[in-house]
Each structure stands twice: as C-alpha cells, then as structure tokens.
Amino acid sequence: MSHTPSGFLPNVGSISHDACYNSPPAGPDARNTASHTLTLPSLVHGSDLVTLLNPILDASHTRNMKVSPPNSSCFPGTRLKVTKKIRSWMDSSLLFAKPHIMWVYGYAGCGKSAIAQEMARYFAGENRLAASFFFFRGAGDRSRVTRFATTVASQVAAAIPATAEMIERAVKANPGLLTTRNTSLADQFEHLVYRPINSVKWDKFAASLRHGPFLIVLDGVDECENREEVGVFIDRMIEFFDQKPRTPLRFLITSRVENHIHQRLHSSKQVRLVDLVKHTSNKDIMCALEAAIAKEKRGRLLACDKAWPSFEDKVKLVEHIGGSYIFMATILKRLFDPNGADSLSPMERLPVVLGMNPDFDNLYKAILEPWQHLPYFLDIISIVGLALEPLSIAQIGDILDIGTVAVAKVLLNLHAIIQIPGDDHTPVTLWHTSLRDFLCCPDRARHLVARKKYIAYGCLPLSAATLGGPPRSPATQYTTRFGKGHWTEFLESMDNNPSMLNIEFEGIVVCLHKTFSISPITEFHFWAFDTLLLHLAGVAKSAAKREGDLPSSTFPPLPSLTDSLKWTLLYTVLHPEEWQAFPAGRTHQVAHPSGLISCWRVRSVQIHLMAIK
C-alpha cells in the first residue's frame, strides 16, 4: 500500500468532485470551477444563448429578497433627494459630457442596497434597465466574479434584443469568454456588454436622445471577494467610456469605501460621487421608522397602545439610530420580538433598546448572548458565518449531524439578524453582511467567534461519503464543492498556534477516522491525511525555531516527520479506540518545563509510546 505526497494527487471523480478545491486553479475561479470543467467548444455547439451564458438567476432586482439578500427597499416617502439626483443624471443627454458612472457610497447599513433596488425597479419600469447585479458576501457565485459578466450579458440580451445576436456570435467565436478562468472579467465585459451595446447605438440613437441611456446597476461591489479583478474591471470601464462617450449606457455602482474601489472612482471625470451619508436625513429616518412601527404593530396578536410610542420616544429612537437603516431594522425586530429571552413586551423593552450602544458589535452581542446556552449554539452559528454560500436548515443539520430540530431551535431565536425560512430546505440568509464580518473577527466577536473546526469536521466525512456514488444527503452538493477548502483552512488557521493544534488533535484524529471508515479508501482520503501531515510538519518546524532559543534540556530533539512516523499516525487514525484509551498521564511525562513544548513533540512521543505498547 502506498500513496503520493500532498499536492501531487491526480484529479479523480466526477466533474462536481473536481470542482472548487480538488485541483484549485489560480485566480478568481479558484472557488468555483464546477460549471466550467466541460470542454467549452462542445458546450457552445448547438446551445441557445441563455444556456451558453448560464446566468445566476437570483442576482438581479427581481430576485426573491427573502431568500436572496440583500432584503432592502426604500420606505414610501423616503430617499427622495438622492433618487431625484440619480434620475436627473440618467435623463441628461448623451450629447453633453456627463459622467457615465455614478458611485453611491457610504458605511454599512446606510441604505445603499435599498437605493440600488429602487433605481433598478424604476428604470425597469421605464424600459431603460439593461441589467442589475446584487453582490452579497457568502452567497456563492454572487460573492465572486465567476459568473458576473455572463449574468449581466444575459440580462442585456433580454433587455436590448438587438444585442443578442452579437453576444452569441462573440461567444461562439471565442468560447473562452464564458469563464474568467480563460478570459479576464474586464475582457468579458468588453466583448459581451460594451461592444454589443455600442454596436446597436446608432439604431437606437434617436431613441437614446429622447429617452436617455440604458442603466446597469451594480450593488455591493465591495462584497465581491475578487478585489484585483474588480479593480481592473473599473479601470477598463472608465477607459471605455473615455474612448466612446456616446455609448448609450451608464453604470450606477453602490459600495462601501474600500481602497481598491475608492482609488479608481474618486478622481475620474467619468464618475459622479454621491456620499449617501450626506443624503440621509433624520426626516427620512423618522418616516421610515413610523412606517416600520405601524407594520410591526399591525402584525402583532396583542395590540399595542395606539399612542405608543410617543413622539418623544420616536425622536429618541431616530437619534439613537444615527442614520443607519439596517440598525433601525434590527433594533425594531428586537423591540417587537415575541420570543425574546427577557419576556418583555415592546413597551417594556423600549427603554432597554434605547440603552443599547448604537453599534453593530454590541447589537449582535445583545441578540446572540442570551441564547448561547442552547445545545449546538456555537456549532450552528459557526456554520452560518463561515459557509461559502447560504445553507438550509436541513443542510446545516446534515453537516453537524444533529438533525433539523436542533438547528431550528437555535435559529428561530435569532430572526432579528438572520432570515429564517418557513421550511427546512430554503437557504438561511443574513439580514446584513456585517454579521458575517462580526462572527469571523476574533477581536470583535470574542467568545462568539465562528470556529472553523465545526464546518471542517462536518464537511470532510460527507465529502468522502459521496465518492463514486449518488448524493446521499442534503449537504452533498455543498460539501463536494467546498469540503476540501474548509479542511485546509481549518488546518491553516493553526499553523502559528501549536497550542490550539494540541487541543484539537484528538478531534482531528476522530474526524479522519470517520472519513476513512465511511467509504472505501481513495486518493481523496490520502489527500486529507497528507494535508494534515503537511501542516504538522510546518508546526514542528516553526516550534523548532522557537525552541532553539531556549535553555538546553534533557529532552530529546524534536522528532522528524519520518515515513515510519507517518504510518504510525495513520494507524492512530484508523484505530482511535487505542488513542482514546491511551493514558493521559503519559503526556505529562514529556511536558517541557518552560511550557513552550510544541504539540507536535508531545503527540509524537505519545504515538511512539503507543507503538511500543
């Protein structure tokens, strides 16, 4: 029996098994290659345009926002000043040197997505919306550029039928345009969006002069993880409009102020800047607040006092909200929460809400901490925070092997910050990506931080369970695509933390044993084992460097990762009952007096002792 070292395993299995992390390509397609592993010429031949472009179906303004966030829209009577400014810009003539790009920017929760949604709806009603794309971090393909251009191109072909023939010709002449693995995002837009629209402009030029140009809305561009690609895309967009200013197309871009976006948009003559914070008035917040409170009161079984809250209370709430629409929405959900741990009525809870620090971190802690005693609380929150695309209650339960009831018991208490579907098979989504940022930051979340081990331990065995066979569980598709990545990231998170690897070592062994025993052993199993050995060797090397500065001791030198030791460790993986029965006291016999002994040394001695035993 033999196996090849990590990094040298040949790709095996189905197309879906090869996707994502099995043999990750460099660049923006590194996390999702499943839809592009077929031979492109054979895919192009005889296919219709929609099939060729393979658009993301839940990326536009027409998506089901409860399932595919952001779930944002403008309250009636609000945002009138900024929406008027956008309409005026869009209605300006192409004959004048007006900027082709408008950048609406602001901090998290100030209503950028609501503006984007409102404008997309408005110009769709005017038959002037060419396309819309709503990025959302952690939403699979909507957080990457992989299918961004082809999705926009598909919408452009539908909105401006005269472009469809040119788009199809371009794809059939160069099938590489279908994937960012073969073509850059900037070049995809050049051939699939800019040129087709520019080619038909003279047919539509008179209409363009009368009705104004077409609009493409791009929301949450800062939430796309492919920052370098986005930067080049913006550069090329500006360059295109500089060269072809009469193209009847404009872009509305909304985002936070991230450096790779700001440095390209803030000084270009092709860009009009709109600071949304300066366009957010207390009057708008009050109007939105009153509408939201009225809606919540109508939906309650027990009616509230019609005069509640008082005008003075509303003014306090507006001041407390501080211009953040998402903060307003979240504290109102908390205020009217019928299942609150405090068992208070909304009227009793209002002073508590007003006493909360007006920032996201304290808000999230106040909502999460009362429920952290529930079984599997941190496991479930970790899956929600770390999943690379939204998972359903059934999928979360499958990954954690705890069933759907345990998942629902936790999530139903968190509806103020997480959108909970009405069934077990619709994805669970976040109200706002700031929650993901919070959960993934140890300095901010502290004891509530998402642990990578839960999703790694759950995905690896499920990935092995489906090798060479049909799907066996709700989470099969997800774990097949992303299981390897979660395992690798979990191990990498401990590369500079030997003490954490020491703590988690037994859990790692148990996870590998489950993975090895769940299906016949294949190269996938050896990949998982080799990945562990690679990180153990790295930790040992790092620890050896640190211990070189310590006073000399009577302890033997750090064991090297020999082939014999590798097979001893593999034996441990395959026979965890002997590992668990191994006396804990023997570990203490090799503890370094300085307390800086590496976990690899301790565990290596344990394995040697086991072999002797």
Q: Give tens-digit pLDDT for 304-354.
A: 667 888 899 899 888 888 777 877 887 888 888 877 777 788 888 888 888
pLDDT of residue 446: 92
Position 110 in a domain = yes
pLDDT 10s digits, 1-55: 333 333 322 222 222 223 332 333 333 333 333 333 334 444 454 468 999 999 9
Q: Which contacts qualify for 170-177: CB closer than 8 Å, 24 or more apart?
A: 170/195, 170/196, 171/44, 171/49, 171/52, 171/53, 172/44, 172/52, 175/40, 175/41, 175/43, 175/44, 176/40
Do 261 and 288 lie in a common domain? Answer: no
CATH number at residue 229: 3.40.50.300
Does the pTM surpass 0.85? The reply is: no
pLDDT at 357: 65
- Co-location of 50 and 189 in the same domain: yes
**Kind plus residue range of the DSSP H or E element containing 505:** helix 498-517
Closest residue by Cα to residue 385 from 426, 359, 406, 414: 414
Whether residue 262 is found in the same domain as residue 289: no
The answer to whether position 31 is within a domain reads no
237 and 333 part of one domain: no
Residue 426: closest CA among 70, 66, 142 = 66
Structural domain contains residue 411: no
Do both 488 and 341 map to the same domain?
Answer: no
**Lowest mean per-residue pLDDT among 214-218, 451-455, 502-506, 553-557:** 553-557
Give the pLDDT of residue 586. Answer: 37
172 and 296 share a domain?
Answer: no
Helix/strand/coil for 86: helix
406 within domain boundaries:
no
Q: Based on the domain organization, do 288 and 273 belong to the same domain?
A: no
In a domain, 251, yes or no: yes
Which of 334, 358, 382 is at the close of a domain? 358
Among residues 214, 248, 278, the one where a domain terminates is: 278
Residue 136 CA to residue 601 CA, distance in Å, equals 44
When divided into structural domains, the chain yields a total of 3
Q: What's the pLDDT score for residue 28?
A: 35
Position 29 in a domain = no
Which of 358, 383, 410 marks a domain boundary? 358
Is residue 541 assigned to a domain? Answer: yes
- Whether residues 332 and 474 share a domain: the answer is no
Domain encompassing residue 340 = 282-322+324-358
pLDDT mean over 236-265:
92
Q: Is residue 420 part of a domain?
A: no
Q: Are residues 330 and 181 in the same domain?
A: no
On whether both 231 and 174 belong to a single domain, the answer is yes
Same domain, 587 and 514: yes
Asked if residue 287 and residue 270 are part of one domain, the reply reads no
SS3 of residue 345 by DSSP: coil
